[in-house]
Amino acid sequence: MTSRDYLNNKFDVIVVGAGHAGCEAALSAARLGCNVLLCTLNVDNIALQPCNPAIGGPAKSTLVREIDALGGIMGEAADATYIQMKTLNSSKGPAVRALRAQSDKKEYTNYMRHILENTDNIWIKQTCITEILVNEGKITGAVDEYGLEYSCKAIILTTGTSLEGKMYVGLQAYSGGRLGERAAIGLSQSLREHGIKTKKLKTGTPARVDKRTIDYSKMEMQPGDEKLSFYSFKPERPVRPQYPCYLTRTNEDTHAIIRANLDKSPMYQGLIQGVGPRYCPSIEDKIVRFASNPSHHIFIEPEGLNTYEVYIQGFSTSLPACVQVEMIRSLPGLENAHIIKPAYAVEYDYVPAVQTTHSLMSKDIKGLFFAGQINGTSGYEEAAAQGLIAGINSVNYLNNSEPLELSRASSYIGTLIDDLVTKDIQEPYRMLTSRSEYRLLLRQDNADERLTAIGYKIGLIDDKQYQRFIKKQECIQKEIHRLRETKLPAADDVNQILAEYGEHIDRGMRLAELLKRPNINYEILKKIDSETNNLNLSNDITEEAEVLIKYEGYIKRQEMQVESTEKLEKYKIPANIDYSKIKHISTESREKLEKIRPQNLAQASRIGGVKPADISVLMVMLGK
């Protein structure tokens, strides 16, 4: 395709939606050489953070690091626009430590738009795609709301909450995907006409208030970290001033107001049929489900440096605006709050991801990909991860190459996609560390070790970045070797320092052996060993070296689990297998297997309702 084919509305790939999934999809496809049309309902809302202005958190920070390791852009954008960086769960094990960046919402949007507009092969257009064009089971193009037709060979749908979106404030309903933005009408019907099933989900967002009307003296300050960490593995890491968040709490007055007005909630009146996110419930859900809890944490988060708008995290609701005023003013520090934007719920169409393969392409329509909330997920990070994979695989599809399908053992991205396409998710899916059986192997600190080589092979990681990665890995191994070889004497001055941390040694001990003790970390080694202190290694090198030594036994145990699972993955299931003819498996398993159509026994074993005995039957059958 020539660069002037856009004049005739001819593109390789059309990306529908310019949220976090759409941005990663468009950038990856364009950087791999495809001409991309990026369609959005509003060009001013590219990469918008319509809910809390933050990137990362438990499990999500690992997704962001994995996106960066593969060559995506979210980590770089988060590093460039943060107003606070904070490591969560720092006192816990490495599997659950998580970086969280409070973002400047406008800066983040502007940064991402600048990247898109300065990337060759991307053409941005403000329009609503209302129809997909299919011929002989393959994508051939799309039609927009103005009747304009675009030809392409691949479409990536990243529509977020816009698809037939309906917003609720109390018992009043408004058409829209998010406040101030219209809904995408027509595309759902087109999908259904082509045999794609759609369902409804629900999400919501809290009110925003004017910070000038907040009394922060009644709240607990939540500062950022003094010692900064970053998402991107690239060396250009801006050090920016940090700004605090604050913590307040609900009280009995808040709860009483909510309980007295549940009859005005669209959820409790049955107006909303879609299922809401289990791990991010509305405040009325919290009050009802956890009635014995006298208080709930509410975080006060700035939306940016050049705005008075403040986000009330943990206070999502769909109650009427007049009730919201009462609720918010019952919170300590918010007695005089002025509400800039009310909270609201939104119900929207999504496409259950069991209709897609692990490449995120439709099983029935070649060249049609889905990524983000349209697949039933919640969260910017989950969306961006899917967008990146869909963008890469749209190019692989056009080039007749093997799709990129990450395994559960390789990444949280692989876990996320495997869960979506094999488990028939019925509620908004959020990535959690507990969803991975290999979470000690899939830490945020080693995402580059796991995925950079893949990003380099694909073509999204350049030579300079790859060589930097190789050098880092060599430094980590060199430091591990030094720690295992260097012996520390049981001297008085050494024990005097160790005593501060409740430790003592009676004999000479290698540094690696000492580091395995629960009370000892790398920073303490610097105090008792001059060579360790003088090396002045970067935090990312020392952190990974410490984890690999301290948790060596646990890591080996999980590696053995991976080997066991890989044995099941070797049992490939033919694509044309007829499960109805397999007599010795249960009816439920037969129905589930027919619906999901797993590619191997490992995937089959993870499908809800498929019994272990039936996996054994399949193993014998495939062995023959």
Output the pLDDT for position 236.
79
CB distance 382 to 417 below 8 Å: no
The secondary element (H helix, E strand) that includes residue 559 is helix 552-569
Do 438 and 583 fall within a single domain? no
Q: What is the CATH number of the domain that holds 486?
A: 1.10.10.1800
Q: What is the CATH number of the domain that holds 447?
A: 3.50.50.60
Please state, in angstroms and rounded to a whole number, the distance separating the CA atoms of residues 112 and 77.
Answer: 7
pLDDT of residue 582 exceeding 90 = no
41 in a domain, yes or no? Answer: yes
Do 63 and 108 fall within a single domain? yes
Which one-letter DSSP state was computed for residue 331?
A: S
pLDDT of residue 256 exceeding 70 = yes
Strand partners, 205: 344
pLDDT of residue 624 exceeding 80 = no
CB distance 394 to 445 below 8 Å: no
Q: pLDDT for 526-559, tens place per residue?
A: 999 899 989 989 888 999 999 999 999 999 999 9
Please state, in angstroms and rounded to a whole number, the distance separating the CA atoms of residues 17 and 398.
Answer: 21
Do 15 and 112 fall within a single domain? yes
Q: Which of 63-72, 174-183, 210-219, 558-567 has the lowest mean pLDDT?
A: 558-567
Do 381 and 517 fall within a single domain? no
Residue 89 phi, psi (nearest 5): 55, 35
Domain boundary residue, one of 331, 346, 361:
346
pLDDT of residue 85 exceeding 90 = yes
Overall domain count for the chain: 4
For residue 308, name the pLDDT band (cuts at 50, 70, 90). very high
562 in a domain, yes or no? Answer: no
pLDDT of residue 216 exceeding 60 = yes
564 in a domain, yes or no? Answer: no
Task: To the nearest 10°, report the CA torsion of 352, 353, 356, 361.
Answer: 110
pLDDT, mean of residues 510-530: 93
561 in a domain, yes or no? Answer: no
Name the average pLDDT for the chain.
93
Do 91 and 129 fall within a single domain? yes
For residue 3, name the pLDDT band (cuts at 50, 70, 90). low
Q: pLDDT for 148-205, tens place per residue?
A: 999 999 999 999 999 999 999 999 999 999 888 999 999 999 999 999 999 999 999 9
pLDDT, mean of residues 318-347: 97
Q: What is the CATH number of the domain that holds 579?
A: 1.10.150.570
Q: pLDDT for 459-510, tens place per residue?
A: 999 999 999 999 999 999 999 999 999 999 999 999 999 999 999 999 999 9
Do 97 and 168 fall within a single domain? yes
Do 391 and 489 fall within a single domain? no
Q: What is the CATH number of the domain that holds 333?
A: 2.40.30.260
565 in a domain, yes or no? Answer: no
430 in a domain, yes or no? Answer: yes
Please state, in angstroms and rounded to a whole number, the distance separating the CA atoms of residues 111 and 348.
Answer: 28
Q: What is the pTM of this model?
A: 0.93
Please state, in angstroms and rounded to a whole number, the distance separating the CA atoms of residues 482 and 510.
Answer: 10
Answer left, alpha or beta for residue 486, where phi above 0 means left and psi between -120 and 50 means alpha: beta
Please state, in angstroms and rounded to a whole number, the distance separating the CA atoms of residues 605 and 612.
Answer: 7
pLDDT, mean of residues 135-158: 97
Q: What percentage of the chain reaches a pLDDT higher than 90?
A: 79
- How many other C-beta atoms are found inside a 10 Å radius of the C-beta of residue 193? 11
Please state, in angstroms and rounded to a whole number, the distance separating the CA atoms of residues 458 and 72.
Answer: 12
Output the pLDDT for position 73.
98
What domain range is 266 assigned to? 208-228+236-346
Inter-helix orientation angle 380-398/20-31, to 10°: 30
Angle made by CA atoms 246, 250, 255, in degrees to the nearest 5: 160
- Tokens at 354, concatenated: 């069991």
pLDDT, mean of residues 79-103: 92
Residue type, 431: M
pLDDT of residue 72 exceeding 80 = yes
Do 309 and 395 fall within a single domain? no
Output the pLDDT for position 565.
82
pLDDT of residue 92 exceeding 90 = no
Please state, in angstroms and rounded to a whole number, the distance separating the CA atoms of residues 143 and 151.
Answer: 9
Which one-letter DSSP state was computed for residue 20?
A: H
78 in a domain, yes or no? Answer: yes
pLDDT of residue 77 exceeding 90 = yes
Residue type, 467: Q
Domain boundary residue, one of 323, 346, 369:
346
Q: Which of 177-191, 199-213, 266-280 has the lowest mean pLDDT?
A: 266-280
For residue 569, name the pLDDT band (cuts at 50, 70, 90). confident
Inter-helix orientation angle 105-117/20-31, to 10°: 20
Output the pLDDT for position 564.
83
Domain boundary residue, one of 505, 530, 555:
555
Do 223 and 358 fall within a single domain? no
For residue 405, name the pLDDT band (cuts at 50, 70, 90). very high
Output the pLDDT for position 361.
98
Output the pLDDT for position 403.
97
| CB neighbour list of residue 619: distance below 8 Å, 6 or more residues apart | 568, 571, 601
Do 339 and 353 fall within a single domain? no
pLDDT of residue 2 exceeding 60 = no
Tell how strand 129-135 and strand 138-144 pair up: antiparallel
560 in a domain, yes or no? Answer: no
Output the pLDDT for position 269.
82
In angstroms, how far is CA 43 from the centroid of its own chain? 23
For residue 129, name the pLDDT band (cuts at 50, 70, 90). very high
pLDDT of residue 342 exceeding 80 = yes
For residue 615, name the pLDDT band (cuts at 50, 70, 90). confident
| CB neighbour list of residue 40: distance below 8 Å, 6 or more residues apart | 17, 18, 22, 46, 124, 125, 126, 127
Q: What percentage of the chain reaches a pLDDT higher than 70?
A: 99
Please state, in angstroms and rounded to a whole number, the distance separating the CA atoms of residues 2 and 10.
Answer: 10
pLDDT of residue 519 exceeding 70 = yes
Q: Which of 379-388, 448-457, 517-526 has the lowest mean pLDDT?
A: 517-526
pLDDT, mean of residues 75-94: 93
Nearest to 10 by CA among 162, 133, 113: 133
Do 441 and 494 fall within a single domain? no
Output the pLDDT for position 601.
87
Do 293 and 390 fall within a single domain? no
Q: pLDDT for 423-438, tens place per residue?
A: 888 899 999 999 999 9
Output the pLDDT for position 443.
94
